[in-house]
């Protein structure tokens, strides 16, 4: 039977993930929520910061933001319910916005082309 903490197995997984992504390190976590906690901590997001999250989601999307001490800002969804309403998202961007955290519900990805980002960058140039 493997060691209860499975240290060697996890170490190997992390090494393989780091190699796969060309990173110097990778950290395996127990859940998507834990992954969001780690990502927010790595970005040093905390008190005074805002993170834009979809209004149509599950609580585990906003909970890591609150745990980090930041403020979740809820963005309306588009008419399909699978993506942000980008007009609402643009209106909610502020100087305190540190991250935009899309949540892919029901297996549907949000704006995979990044077309909104391109339009926004052009408008801001």
Q: What is the pLDDT of residues 59-94, one digit of tens each?
A: 888 999 999 999 999 999 888 777 888 899 999 999
Number of domains in the chain: 1
DSSP 71: E
Does 51 fall in a domain?
yes
Does 8 fall in a domain?
no
Helix, strand, coil % in the chain, rounded to nearest 5 = 45, 15, 45
Listed as ranges, residues in the chain with pLDDT below 70 are 1-6, 108-125
Which residues have a Cβ under 8 Å from the Cβ of 26 and sit 6 or more positions away?
14, 15, 17, 18
pLDDT at 100: 92
Does 1 fall in a domain?
no
Does 55 fall in a domain?
yes
Does 7 fall in a domain?
no
Does 21 fall in a domain?
no
Q: Determine the Cα–Cα distance for residues 111 and 90; give it in Å rounded to an integer.
A: 14
pTM of the entire predicted model: 0.76
SS3 assignment, position 104: coil
Q: Determine the Cα–Cα distance for residues 94 and 104; give it in Å rounded to an integer.
A: 23
Range of the structural domain that residue 103 is part of: 45-108
What's the CA dihedral at 84, 41, 50, 68 to 10 degrees?
110
pLDDT at 94: 94
CA-based nearest residue to 64, from 37, 30, 27: 37
Does 38 fall in a domain?
no
Does 28 fall in a domain?
no
């Amino acid at each position: 039977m493997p060691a209860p903490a499975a240290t060697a197995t996890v170490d190997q997984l992390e090494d393989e993930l780091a190699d796969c992504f060309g990173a110097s390190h990778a950290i395996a976590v127990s859940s998507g929520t834990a992954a969001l906690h780690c990502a927010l901590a790595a970005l040093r997001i905390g008190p005074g910061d805002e993170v834009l999250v979809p209004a149509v989601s599950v609580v585990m999307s906003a909970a890591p933001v609150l745990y980090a001490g930041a403020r979740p800002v809820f963005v309306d969804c588009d008419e399909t319910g699978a993506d942000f309403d980008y007009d609402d998202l643009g209106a909610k961007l502020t100087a305190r916005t540190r991250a935009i955290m899309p949540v892919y519900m029901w297996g549907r990805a949000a704006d995979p082309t990044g077309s909104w980002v391109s339009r926004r960058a052009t408008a801001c140039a």
